[in-house]
């Protein structure tokens, strides 16, 4: 079926015996139409994917630039500083995972409202999501700041790394509200089909971060020399400015959505639906983040050189995930909007098309990492042991990237449909039922060492991608509510 044949797919589900959601009954209130923008529920699916994905890829590229810029400046301070950043980031990710479900739910619900051409509901969902994100992130900021010493102890941070990591971690927690607000605002805009504004906001944050990094890390221009904590301070300051700008633009009416004071009034029904969709997504992210904490602890047991190599390798692999997450976000938006427009078959085809693109991109980049691994690792002033460990990690993980592309793109498609529980179940099994115990066992094999952890990571990616594909093919996600 061609992409333009949308009238013939109304009511189709692609699942035997399933039926699409019924259109609004005759006499029902007609939703307020959204301002004119490109219609993502008709025309070329490939064109719609790349229209949304390219700006999102560029936003993700900006995030990678921020990360690698921090990494490069911090690397000048030595391997202990690099390891301090590496041991801290999984903790921030873990405690922020509860919030991330709010962004996922907002994307799904806003996309569904936009697909149904209901601007009032889209605006209202956006306001409620922002309120919830501020409440959750404020609680996480306090809890994280107070618990930072215990968390680093649990991570088995080496003595030379601990004080550096503590300062870096606590500064990040102080800025977590602005970080989360920016994340949710970007998710709302992408759900509405606006991928350009998040790019502009991310670019603003990146530019400011690059400007502030050397000033605050090394104490240029009369500023105090903050070292590793300066990298966190630069990021937080940039995020505060970018998130404030995003909220201003959302409230100004210049965009497809326009927030008003009434949209922030407490709405129990909408908040419950955000939680119902967002909680499984949050738990999935929490499980993934906690798994990263456990793996980091496993890696830390092999010394600071291997820990530094792991930190650098994970930062480099973000380059591969950058385009994949852009494609996956496009898939989520298209699935949500087309389900809202009662076009489930187009939603399904959008998800599969995005999956194909994601797998291709990840495969090509995986090959590049495998071939260029030694050169890439030497760029970050690692010791010979660190270069060897990082080279092995990049080459083994290159095999898994194709399956990561499959899993990430289809998981975001499920999120766009509002069907987040299966992804949580699959993640629990693949990561905690398989990856963590396998990594624990294999790291103790004398002739494998840290390489056993890399092998476990690769196998879990294969398993998670395959299981996600198996569930998506059932089509049950088409009946989810958002």
| pLDDT score, position 3 | 42
In the chain, the number of structural domains is 1
Choice among 46-55, 56-65, 354-363, 410-419 with the minimum mean pLDDT: 56-65
Asked whether residue 8 is domain-assigned, the answer is: no
Cα–Cα dist 83/36, whole Å: 49
Closest among 425, 424, 419, 430 to 475, alpha carbons compared: 419
Against a cut of 0.85, is the pTM above it? no
Residue reference for tokens 């409202």: 113
Residue reference for tokens 């990856």: 435
Asked whether residue 374 is domain-assigned, the answer is: yes
Q: At residue 375, does pLDDT exceed 80?
A: yes
| pLDDT score, position 465 | 94
Q: At residue 26, does pLDDT exceed 70?
A: no
| pLDDT score, position 36 | 42
* CA dist 150 → 1, 12, 26, 442 (Å): 57, 53, 60, 27
Higher pLDDT, 66 or 148: 148
Q: At residue 33, does pLDDT exceed 90?
A: no
pLDDT band at residue 18 under the 50/70/90 scheme: very low
Higher pLDDT, 22 or 341: 341
Q: At residue 476, does pLDDT exceed 90?
A: yes
Residues in the chain: 482
| pLDDT score, position 38 | 65
Asked whether residue 210 is domain-assigned, the answer is: yes
Q: At residue 27, does pLDDT exceed 70?
A: no
- On the 0-12 / 13-18 / 19+ scale of CB atoms within 10 A, 162 is middle
Higher pLDDT, 311 or 132: 132
| pLDDT score, position 80 | 83
Kindly report the average pLDDT of the chain as a whole number: 84
Asked whether residue 339 is domain-assigned, the answer is: yes
* CA dist 471 → 387, 413, 447, 461 (Å): 39, 12, 37, 16
Closest among 202, 196, 187 to 255, alpha carbons compared: 196
Closest among 472, 360, 464 to 49, alpha carbons compared: 360
Q: At residue 347, does pLDDT exceed 90?
A: yes
Choice among 76-85, 349-358, 430-439 with the minimum mean pLDDT: 76-85
Asked whether residue 101 is domain-assigned, the answer is: yes
What is the mean pLDDT of the segment spanning 9-35? 41
pLDDT band at residue 433 under the 50/70/90 scheme: very high
Asked whether residue 154 is domain-assigned, the answer is: yes
| pLDDT score, position 259 | 86
And the tokens for 124?
A: 């209202």
Q: At residue 354, does pLDDT exceed 90?
A: yes
Cα–Cα dist 365/409, whole Å: 16
Choice among 148-152, 307-311, 340-344, 455-459 with the minimum mean pLDDT: 307-311
Domain range for 246 is: 43-479
And the tokens for 169?
A: 């971690």
| pLDDT score, position 320 | 78
What is the mean pLDDT of the segment spanning 1-5? 40
Angle, CA 393 vertex, CA 386 and CA 320 arms, to 5°: 115
Asked whether residue 421 is domain-assigned, the answer is: yes
Q: At residue 19, does pLDDT exceed 60?
A: no
| pLDDT score, position 381 | 65
Choice among 298-307, 361-370, 393-402, 409-418 with the minimum mean pLDDT: 298-307
Asked whether residue 262 is domain-assigned, the answer is: yes
What is the mean pLDDT of the segment spanning 419-438? 92
Per residue in 151-208, pLDDT tens?
Answer: 888 877 788 888 888 999 999 898 888 888 888 998 899 888 888 999 999 889 888 9
Per residue in 48-91, pLDDT tens?
Answer: 999 999 998 888 777 777 777 777 888 888 878 888 888 887 77
| pLDDT score, position 477 | 93
């Amino acid at each position: 079926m061609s992409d333009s044949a949308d009238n013939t797919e109304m009511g189709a589900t692609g699942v035997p015996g399933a039926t699409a959601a019924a259109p609004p009954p005759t006499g029902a209130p007609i939703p307020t139409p959204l301002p004119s923008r490109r219609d993502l529920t008709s025309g070329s699916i490939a064109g719609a994917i790349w229209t949304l994905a390219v700006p999102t890829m560029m936003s993700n590229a900006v995030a990678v630039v921020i990360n690698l810029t921090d990494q490069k400046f911090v690397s000048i301070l030595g391997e202990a500083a690099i390891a301090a950043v590496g041991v801290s980031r999984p903790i921030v990710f873990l405690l922020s995972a509860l919030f991330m479900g709010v962004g996922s739910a907002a994307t799904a619900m806003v996309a569904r409202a936009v697909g149904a051409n209901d601007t009032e509901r889209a605006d209202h969902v956006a306001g409620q999501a922002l309120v919830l994100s501020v409440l959750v992130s404020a609680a996480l900021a306090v809890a994280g700041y107070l618990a930072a010493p215990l968390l680093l102890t649990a991570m088995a941070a080496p003595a030379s790394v601990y004080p550096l990591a503590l300062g870096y971690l606590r500064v990040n927690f102080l800025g977590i509200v602005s970080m989360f607000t920016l994340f949710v605002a970007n998710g709302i805009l992408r759900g509405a089909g606006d991928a350009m504004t998040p790019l502009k906001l991310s670019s603003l944050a990146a530019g400011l971060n690059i400007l502030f990094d050397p000033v605050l890390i090394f104490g240029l221009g009369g500023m105090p020399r903050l070292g590793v904590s300066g990298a966190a301070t630069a990021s937080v300051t940039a995020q505060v400015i970018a998130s404030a700008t995003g909220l201003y633009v959302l409230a100004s009416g210049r965009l497809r959505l326009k927030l008003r004071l009434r949209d922030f009034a407490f709405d129990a029904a909408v908040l419950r639906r955000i939680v119902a969709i967002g909680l499984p997504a949050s738990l999935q992210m929490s499980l993934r983040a906690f798994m990263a904490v456990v793996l980091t602890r496993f890696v830390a047991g092999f010394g600071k050189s291997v820990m530094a190599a792991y930190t650098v390798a994970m930062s480099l692999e973000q380059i591969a995930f950058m385009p994949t997450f852009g494609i996956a976000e496009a898939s989520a938006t298209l699935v949500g909007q087309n389900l809202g427009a009662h076009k489930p078959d187009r939603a399904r085809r959008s998800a599969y098309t995005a999956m194909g693109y994601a797998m291709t991109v990840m495969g090509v980049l995986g090959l590049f990492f495998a071939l260029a691994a030694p050169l890439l690792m030497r760029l970050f002033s690692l010791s010979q042991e660190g270069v060897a460990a990082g080279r092995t990690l990049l080459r083994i993980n290159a095999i898994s990237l194709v399956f990561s592309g499959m899993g990430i793109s289809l998981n975001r498609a499920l999120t766009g449909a509002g069907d987040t529980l299966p992804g949580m179940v699959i993640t629990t099994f693949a990561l905690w039922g398989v990856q963590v115990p396998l990594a624990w066992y294999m790291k103790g094999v004398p002739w494998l060492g840290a390489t056993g952890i890399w092998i476990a990571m690769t196998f879990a990616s294969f398993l998670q991608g395959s299981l996600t594909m198996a569930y998506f093919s059932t089509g049950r996600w088409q009946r989810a509510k958002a």
